[in-house]
Amino acid sequence: MADQTETTLPASSSCSSRNPARVSRGGEGSEGLGALPDDILHTILSKLTTRQAVRTTVLSRRWRHLWRSTPCVDVDAREFHGSWATLEAFTANLLLTSSSHHTAPPVLDAFRLRGLLGLMLIHYRHRAIVDTFVRRGITHRPAALEIDLGYSSYNYFALPRLAPPSSATSSRLKRLHLACVVLEASFADDIRSGGCPVLEEVELRRCKCDFYELSSATLRRLDMEACFWVCRDRVVSVVAPRLASLRLAISDGMWKGLVLESGGESLTQVSISGTFNLVNLFRNLRVMANVTRNKLIKQHIDLKAEEPEDRFLIADKIPPL
């Protein structure tokens, strides 16, 4: 008779599931999760971090290799308790066994790497471990790419090229969320040159940026928070004719401002927050030059100033709705 002892899996911190999953432990013929088809099991495993998914191999013989074909790779470095050796050993074989030199790597729905704050990217070898793993993930053409290294002055890691390594394949990237990552000029080149032909959403938080133009024919949402630019005397130009949502939360002094070259006619949601002097404030308000009166009503503009008098002056200059 199959062992029916219940096992509590570690709580997932990825995707939408946050609660521990209780499953029946037993052989392939046992009731419960083990009787479900592979596609449903893959969906369940995608709610776990990859390390948690690997641990499900103890549940039954059928589960030993099921996690390898899960279309979501989610590595949370906090699960490795500050050990680079353990993290390197774990990531070394991920995404390798399911591809060969003769076929393209299987695609991913999502690739996530999070929580490197405790590990501190100080040594070159540590950066190389992260770089190798991220490059490998990009070759699997994920629809969503999320990298959050955790805020630290030592943690700045340069994002590899997003364009597929082969012209025979195209990027599937629709959602790009980056935090505490260095974005070089090649970042804008990959997006502008068609390296991301279906990109719809870009979210940048606390990134060090060295690009000054962002051009995409498909981008619909742009969110930038607490980023800073290498050349702070240059304006960032955005060309996004389909842009519908724009959020800026960047303090004065971190950049010279943003100019929306095209796409103002499609904007329905705009949020600008942070501390701005009047010059930078109006530079950002010009982003909304083509927004109609009806769309302006939907706007939320959160203005913060260090002095109450400045706040009054700024508010007084905003055109009435």
Confidence of residue 3 (pLDDT cuts 50, 70, 90): very low
Residue 300 pLDDT exceeds 80? no
Where does the pLDDT of residue 256 fall: very low under 50, low under 70, confident under 90, or very high at 90 and above? confident
Mean pLDDT of 91-110: 67
pLDDT greater at residue 223 or residue 253: 223
Q: What is the pLDDT of residues 194-232, one digit of tens each?
A: 789 999 999 999 999 999 999 999 999 999 999 999 998
Please choose, from the candidates 25, 10, 111, the residue with its C-alpha nearest in 3D space to the C-alpha of residue 55.
10
Which of the pair, 110 or 69, is modelled with greater confidence? 110
Domain ranges of the chain: 31-70, 75-200, 212-321
What's residue 24's pLDDT?
A: 43
How confident is the model over 152-192, as pLDDT tens digits? 655 678 999 987 656 557 889 999 999 989 999 999 999 98
22-30's contacts with Cβ under 8 Å and 24+ in sequence apart are: 23/56, 23/59, 25/58, 25/59, 25/60, 26/2, 26/59, 26/60, 27/2, 27/60, 27/61, 28/60, 28/61, 28/62, 29/2, 30/2, 30/4, 30/60
The separation between CA 249 and the C-alpha centre of its own chain, rounded to angstroms, equals 17
Sequence-distant (≥ 6) Cβ neighbours of residue 64 within 8 angstroms: 57
Residue 76: band (very low, low, confident or very high) from pLDDT cuts 50, 70, 90: confident
Bridge partners (DSSP) of residue 72 are 110
Listed in sequence order, the residues at least 6 apart from 166 whose beta carbon sits closer than 8 Å to its beta carbon are 104
Euclidean distance between CA atoms 267 and 20, whole angstroms:
40
| 298, pLDDT greater than 60 | no
State yes or no: pLDDT of 71 exceeds 70.
yes
pLDDT at 197: 92
Task: List the single range of 49-63, 100-114, 132-146 with lowest mean pLDDT.
Answer: 49-63
* pLDDT at residue number 263: 60
Residues in CB range of 261: below 8 A, 6 or more apart: 237, 238, 239
Percentage of the chain exceeding pLDDT 90? 25
Specify the DSSP element, H or E, that contains 90. Answer: helix 84-92
Indicate the residue type of 103.
T
Residue 147 backbone phi and psi in degrees, to 5: -130, 120
Q: Which helix (H) or strand (E) holds 300?
A: strand 300-301
Whether residue 259 contacts residue 238, with contact meaning beta carbons closer than 8 Å, is answered with yes
DSSP 94: T
Question: Is-contact 9 17, C-beta < 8 A?
Answer: no
